[in-house]
Amino acid sequence: MNLTLNNLSKHFGAVKAVDDISLSIPSGELVALLGPSGSGKTTLLRIVGGLEAADCGQVLYAGEDTTRWPIQKRRAGFVFQNYALFRNMTVFENIAFGLRAQPRKQRPNAVELKRRVAELLYLIRLPDLAERYPSQLSGGQQQRVALARALAIEPRLLLLDEPFGALDAQVRKELRRWVRQVHDQTGLTTLFVTHDQDEALELADRVVVMREGRIEQIGTPDEIFEAPATRFVHEFVGESSALPVDVRGGRVSYGGQQLDIDAQLADGPAHLLLRPQHLAPADTGIVVRVDAARRVGPRRRIEAVTSAGDRLECEVDSRFETERGQTLHLQPTRWRLYSRDTAGSPLT
């Protein structure tokens, strides 16, 4: 089912949680809403699921305006951040809840119900835990039960709020792969909220980066990481250092020094954004003094300071040896330039 959001806004008191958001998601896509806390991503997800009413704007399910629909009619499978399993019910009863709650005509009979729940238990690979209570399950198991419960109602789309937030690293990794698998099997349009850029980039077909209730960028993981639209996105999706530079006639200068970088940017002050992996020691380039050099796994991480006092981080082969106080030239191999006066740029 394709999902369309038109000009959604939502205030909490004076705070604009969601600010005029429009978005279109084709059927079957797996989309991440990525942003720091307070960026409005969870509120947006709750509006889509009908748990929150937007102040204005529309939510279209397959072209049908659901804005005034009661939550029950939407059939959005919602998985809550802390799973929200019914603590007084067994795993079986949790999964069966949505089936039993259906209108009498659609409600499956006892045999059918058992079969459906057993199917879902098999899908989440917990066939033996049907009679357990939520408190007797690990976090990862609870998460899977929550997903099975949402899938039981044959939802039109799947909404996941920080699905891996409370799990430890190993379980997260496993579950990520599994969620991707379930998505590919069911073909459900899926939205998930996360503040973890690795999770978003690894799992999603498309990533929506949000900031202060607005969409900062929409793109594939490659687009988001390789061509961040704003300085905010650049800094949010990966490590970066920023240098204040001047652009004049397509040339970039930093602290009076001309850099070997060409700019497709209007003249004026700008920010040069560099990832640690995209800076290499060379004979020419930005002059820095080494502040610290540490081994990070197979690589060496150099923290350096320019003569103007800006900090740069650079990652090199561990065989490259340097020490504190040494002067180096760092040559950018890849970079992004953001004009300093456009929205989203001045961020310190």
Partner 1 sequence: MASVADREPLWVRLFLISIAVVFLVVVLLLPLAAVFAEAFRQGWQAYTEALVEPDAWSALRLTLLVAAIAVPLNLVFGVAAAWAIARFEFRGKSLLVTLIDLPFSVSPVISGLIYVLVYGLHGWFGEWLDARGLQVIFAVPGIVLATVFVTFPFVARELIPLLQEQGSQEEEAALSLGASGWTMFWRVTLPNIRWGLLYGVLLCNARAMGEFGAVSVVSGHIRGETNTLPLHVEILYNEYNFVAAFAVASLLALLALITLVIKTFLEWRHAGELAAARRH
> How many of the other CB atoms lie within 10 Å of CB of 196?
15
Per CB under 8 A, does 84 bind partner 1? Answer: yes
Encoded amino acid at 27, one letter = S
Three-state DSSP class for 175? helix
The answer to whether the beta carbons of residues 292 and 280 sit under 8 Å apart is no
Phi, psi angles (nearest 5°) of residue 191? -120, 130
Q: Does 144 bind partner 1 (CB under 8 A)?
A: no
- Closest CB 194 distance from partner 1, rounded Å: 18
- Does position 105 bind partner 1 by CB under 8 A? no
User: Any contact of residue 166 with partner 1 (CB under 8 A)?
Assistant: no
Q: Is 232 in the site for partner 1 (CB under 8 A)?
A: no
- Contacting partner 1 (CB under 8 A), which of 87, 105, 294, 319? 87
Q: Whole-angstrom Cα distance, residue 302 to residue 86?
A: 50
Q: Which of residues 326-345 bind partner 1 (CB under 8 A)?
A: none
Among 22, 27, 72, 318, binds partner 1 (CB under 8 A): 72
> Which CB sits closer to partner 1, 47 or 224?
47
Label the pairing between strands 189-194 and 336-339.
unpaired
- H helical segments located in 16-109: 41-49, 71-74, 91-100
Binding flag, residue 10, partner 1 (CB under 8 A): no
Rule CB under 8 A: is residue 88 a binding residue for partner 1? yes
Which of 78, 232, 335, 338 is in the footprint of partner 1 by CB under 8 A? Answer: 78
Taking the C-alpha atoms of residue 116 and residue 121, their distance in angstroms, rounded to an integer, is 9
Considering only the stretches 86-94, 197-205, 227-235, 245-253, report the one whose residues sit in contact with partner 1 under the rule CB under 8 A: 86-94
Q: How far is CA 219 from the centre of its chain?
A: 11
The reply to whether 50 sits near partner 1 by the rule CB under 8 A is yes
The yes or no reply on residue 163 touching partner 1 (CB under 8 A) is no
Per DSSP, 66 falls in state: -
* CA–CA separation, 287 and 308 (whole Å): 10
Which helix (H) or strand (E) is 131 found in, with range? none
Based on the shown chain and the rule CB under 8 A, indicate whether residue 80 belongs to the binding site for partner 1.
yes
Closest CA to 34 of 175, 172, 225, 182: 225
Can you tell me which of 60, 118, 153, 282 binds partner 1, judged by CB under 8 A?
153
- State residue 310 phi and psi, 5-degree precision: -80, 145
Of the candidate spans 31-39, 97-105, 242-250, 337-345, the one that interacts with partner 1 by CB under 8 A turns out to be: 97-105
**Nearest approach, Cβ of residue 75 and partner 1 (Å):** 7
Among 17, 39, 42, 49, binds partner 1 (CB under 8 A): 49
Q: Are 344 and 306 a contacting pair, CB within 8 Å?
A: no
54 contacts 47 by C-beta, under 8 angstroms = yes
Q: Which of residues 48 and 201 has its CB atom nearest to partner 1 in the complex?
A: 48
Binding site for partner 1 (CB under 8 A): 49-51, 71-72, 74-78, 80, 82, 84-88, 97-98, 101-102, 149-150, 152-153
